[in-house]
Amino acid sequence: MNWIKQLWLRRRLYDDLDQEIAFHLQEKIDELVAGGMPIKEAEAAARRDFGNLELVRETAREAWGWRWLEDFSGDVRFGARMLRKSPSFTIVAMLTIAIGIAANTAVFSVVNSVVLKPLNYPKAEELVALHQIAPGAEGLADFEAGLLLSPSMYFTYSEHNRTFQSLGVWVSGAANVTGLGAPEQVRIVSVSDGVFEALSVPPALGRWLSHADQEPNGPGRVLLSYGYWQRRFGGERGVIGRIIDVDSHAREIVGVMPQGFRVVDIDFDLAVPLSFDRGKVILSGFGFHGIGRLKPNVTMAEANADLTGLLPVWMDSWSNGPKTDSHIFEAWKITPLIRPLKQEVIGNVGELLWVVMGTIGVVLLIACANVTNLLLVRVEARQQELAVRTALGASMMRIVRGLLVESIMLGLLGGLAGMGIAYAGVRFLVAMGPSNLPRLNEIAIDGRTLAFTLLLSVLSGLFFGLIPALKYAEPRSGSALQSLGRSISASRERHRARNLVVIGQLAMALVLLVSAGLMIRTFAALRKVDPGFSDPRHLQVMRVSIPESLITGPEQVTRAQNAILDRLSAIQGVKSVGFASAMPMEGFDSSWDEIYAEGKDYSNTIFPPMRLYKYVSPDFLRTAGTRLVAGRELTWREVYTQRPVVMISENLAKELWGTPAAAIGKHVREFSFVPWHEVIGVVQDVHETGVQEKTPEIVYWPTLMSDLHGPGPLDAVRVVTFAIRSERAGTESFLNEVRDAVWFVNSNLPLASVRTMQDVYDKSMARTSFTLVMLGIAGAMALALGIIGIYGVMSYTVSQRQREIGIRLALGAARGDVLRMVLEQGARLALVGVAIGIGAGLVLTRLLRHLLFGVSVYDPLTFAAVSSLLLLVASLACYLPARRATLVDPVVAIRYE
């Protein structure tokens, strides 16, 4: 009979036993009666001969070894009765724990969904991002993404590798879909052969994009996302084979991907094949993200070695055009450094989430400490009950276990209530989370989160139950039965545990408040940074792309953009307008290239340093509020006559020629074999990649040039962000007029990313503000709990010392002395707590160093301010009980008890 089955049968076995015993007694009685004994006597005799009925039952049951279980259920029943008996204690303790656990559950569900769960692909552990670095290429080091792959690299890697099951490259972007009602700009992802094979998620309908779909001049094909399929086709199954116009290029729908499918972290509408023309591919063009699926049992190091070995093959197989040296890239020191795809997706957000998790965990500790103190008081009040139980034969172990069961039940109750709050908390977190939080759509409370909550509840129960239980188990000098409630004053020892708990609470609260304070200082420092544009709230931005299929000639593109500017500036309330290849902080892949400056010697370097470059229209920089430091902005005349002019940033001007003014009239060029461009203006530095990042050196080209992408025919930038400076920015009526203005020029042009610059700015600060809010909440909770803790302890102490205080007063102590005495005691606790907190803070805040900006982790101001705040509030919390102590009437106090 196995153990579980026995457990099921337990009830029946007990019934059997009872029946059997009843039978025994009945037989005996019958026999005695038959022998002539009166029935009453016979019953008594039968029982006497049988022995202690209860004891027999108990020992018989014990044979099955369920004693522990029965004791346990007894403990549970008793615990439940005790909790029910003091509902106010139970509710306060439960709520305290519930809030702590709810916060932890909510944050854990985010950590779990974002950091811990594997990506949503089959065998996701085999997936890697083909990350590589190029330490020899100056400027490129600024790329967080490292060096992306070029098409020729993709060909080499995918055709010659020996360590990958499949491998491909992809890039995300936007495209216009026409012919399905209003023109719409959609998010597209362009993928090479190998990407879908690597991700291995079967399509919901139809098929993947195939190798044949990559042919440069083949028939156009497209794959839909589930969302787009539902939105535009209502989930109609007959959609396969239909033709849609993507950037005015007819494409046949071959399949639909399932719900929730993403290419790495890109939530796309359409997937189209990348079609590289083998004949035209060169070495450069490092603009594609690589992804691969390793063969089983291949390590990353082996794969890295494999790819590293292919780099010479790559340089031998392709070139950058006639008369160029393929091996110049050796100087770049390109190093494949593949990493798990998950790391690519979640980036550095994991660290942030763990910091939040840690702080919220500390809040739970503080909450537990409060409950510990409540329980300590309770155990003291229950000494008599416990002493009686001991006297009746309960062992120490049994009582300690009973107390622990009670507190674990309290923890579980709190956890249960916390679960409910956590559901709301998760929604709050998702809404609050940085908008660029990866895997946002996957955040949910799952089995693992529930298990975590359960574990946390039990652990908190154990945690706050252990100290009171152990304290009870301590050997006592006198008999608890007698001495109880008769103490004259508070013995030092009686309060030691509670004082220690309060000190711990205050120390933890200080650490959290200092962290929150450092984030506030960071936030303030960030707000003070001049981002390089002004008054973002009144700067409307939107993205418009003009595909080749819509307007062919480059100059016509610029003229259309110019016409849009004219219409926009005619809108009422518009002060100025302009456009650029991207606004600062917009997050579009920035472009970098080597820039040659006139009069500089580049003979001892293979490449001049890489610089960020952007394309701007006349008036753009004025519209954005980027200050002109020297010279002037470019003009439309210069654009249309293709005068070789350029503007540069202040830091670049200083680096090259010493002062901004000295740069005017000098020349730079992008390639060594194109005409020089004259520097006509120098503008202030701009925080292109976010206020936390350093300002890059920037070159601003006109948008219409013959050497836009190296020497070649005239070309124009087709995808640009328009900036409109107006008090009306962001209002509905204004946006309608803006749309009409664009559509007046060409009704097929869709608008995308319509927002104010403030949104862009806030989004770039999202990480900091999220951390700030989370630490702020944690700090506020910690402060509140800590204050409640010290208030509770001081009140209790005062109530215990009523009699002593009464005697003191009767003997002539001034009320001021009593006040000071109590306050001093509270202040001592607070001071010790703060001192320990400062010590711990100096160590722990170092964990925040990557999240801070413009403030040291040891910032004395924050530490001093938080310490004084905590001391002040703690003294206030002590003042109320202290005042109550002075109001004690000596006569009443002495008669008390």
Residues in touch with other proteins (CB under 8 A):
1, 16-17, 19-21, 23-24, 26-28, 30, 48-53, 55-56, 59-65
Q: Please identify, using beta-carbon distances, which residue of 44 and 832 lies nearer to other proteins.
A: 44
Residue 23 Cβ vs other proteins, minimum distance, rounded to whole Å: 5
Residue 5 Cβ vs other proteins, minimum distance, rounded to whole Å: 13
Residue 802 Cβ vs other proteins, minimum distance, rounded to whole Å: 53
For residue 804, count other CB atoms closer than 10 A to its CB.
Answer: 18
What's the length of the chain?
897
Which one, of 793, 795, 874, lies nearest residue 497 by Cα? 793
Burial class (CB in 10 A: 0-12, 13-18, 19+), 366: buried
**Element of type H or E holding 110:** helix 87-111
Q: Please identify, using beta-carbon distances, which residue of 64 and 226 lies nearer to other proteins.
A: 64
> 71-76 contacts: CB < 8 A, separation 24 or more?
71/398, 71/401, 72/405, 75/401, 75/402, 75/405, 75/406, 76/405, 76/409
Q: Please identify, using beta-carbon distances, which residue of 56 and 328 lies nearer to other proteins.
A: 56
- Per DSSP, what are the bridge partners of residue 176? 185
Reading the block at residue 92, the tokens are 């306060």
Burial class (CB in 10 A: 0-12, 13-18, 19+), 585: buried
Residue 68 Cβ vs other proteins, minimum distance, rounded to whole Å: 15
Residue 34 Cβ vs other proteins, minimum distance, rounded to whole Å: 10
Reading the block at residue 330, the tokens are 């050796």
Q: Please identify, using beta-carbon distances, which residue of 30 and 740 lies nearer to other proteins.
A: 30
Q: Please identify, using beta-carbon distances, which residue of 30 and 41 lies nearer to other proteins.
A: 30
> How many alpha carbons fall within 13 Å on the CB side of residue 399?
23
CA–CA separation, 203 and 259 (whole Å): 10
Beta strands in 446-595 (DSSP E): 539-545, 574-580, 591-594
Reading the block at residue 526, the tokens are 């960030």
Residue 19 Cβ vs other proteins, minimum distance, rounded to whole Å: 7
Q: Please identify, using beta-carbon distances, which residue of 24 and 575 lies nearer to other proteins.
A: 24
Residue 391 Cβ vs other proteins, minimum distance, rounded to whole Å: 24
Q: Please identify, using beta-carbon distances, which residue of 15 and 889 lies nearer to other proteins.
A: 15
Which region holds residue 317: left if phi is over 0, alpha if psi is between -120 and 50, else beta?
alpha
SS (H, E, C) 401-434: HHHHHHHHHHHHHHHHHHHHHHHHHHHHHHHHCC
Which one, of 331, 342, 330, lies nearest residue 127 by Cα? 342
Contact predicate 857/849, CB 8 Å:
yes
Q: Please identify, using beta-carbon distances, which residue of 1 and 4 lies nearer to other proteins.
A: 1
Residue 31 Cβ vs other proteins, minimum distance, rounded to whole Å: 9
Which one, of 579, 562, 540, lies nearest residue 734 by Cα? 540
Q: Please identify, using beta-carbon distances, which residue of 49 and 215 lies nearer to other proteins.
A: 49
Angle between helices 815-844 and 492-528 (to 10 degrees): 50
Q: Please identify, using beta-carbon distances, which residue of 49 and 740 lies nearer to other proteins.
A: 49
Residue 44 Cβ vs other proteins, minimum distance, rounded to whole Å: 11
Q: Please identify, using beta-carbon distances, which residue of 50 and 428 lies nearer to other proteins.
A: 50
Q: Please identify, using beta-carbon distances, which residue of 3 and 673 lies nearer to other proteins.
A: 3
Q: Please identify, using beta-carbon distances, which residue of 59 and 441 lies nearer to other proteins.
A: 59
Contacting residues for 72 by C-beta, under 8 A, at least 6 apart: 405
Q: Please identify, using beta-carbon distances, which residue of 63 and 488 lies nearer to other proteins.
A: 63
Q: Please identify, using beta-carbon distances, which residue of 46 and 355 lies nearer to other proteins.
A: 46
Residue 383: strand, helix, or coil: helix
Q: Please identify, using beta-carbon distances, which residue of 17 and 432 lies nearer to other proteins.
A: 17
For residue 323, count other CB atoms closer than 10 A to its CB.
Answer: 6
Report CA-CA distances (Å) from 262 to 204, 226, 287, 588. 13, 10, 20, 19
Contact predicate 352/515, CB 8 Å:
no
Residue 458 Cβ vs other proteins, minimum distance, rounded to whole Å: 31
Q: Please identify, using beta-carbon distances, which residue of 28 and 242 lies nearer to other proteins.
A: 28
Residue 14 Cβ vs other proteins, minimum distance, rounded to whole Å: 10
- Per DSSP, what are the bridge partners of residue 253? 222
Residue 395 Cβ vs other proteins, minimum distance, rounded to whole Å: 22
Residue 27 Cβ vs other proteins, minimum distance, rounded to whole Å: 5
Q: Please identify, using beta-carbon distances, which residue of 1 and 811 lies nearer to other proteins.
A: 1
Residue 54 Cβ vs other proteins, minimum distance, rounded to whole Å: 10
- 227-256 burial: b if 16+ Cβ within 10 Å, else e: ebbeebbeeeeebbeeebbbbbeebebbbb
Residue holding tokens 């900006």? 853
CA–CA separation, 175 and 251 (whole Å): 13
Report CA-CA distances (Å) from 247 to 172, 218, 226, 540. 15, 16, 20, 25
Residue 8 Cβ vs other proteins, minimum distance, rounded to whole Å: 15
Residue holding tokens 């926009």? 568
**Element of type H or E holding 308:** helix 300-317
Angle between helices 300-317 and 151-160 (to 10 degrees): 120
Residue 200 Cβ vs other proteins, minimum distance, rounded to whole Å: 54
Residue 11 Cβ vs other proteins, minimum distance, rounded to whole Å: 15
Residue 12 Cβ vs other proteins, minimum distance, rounded to whole Å: 12
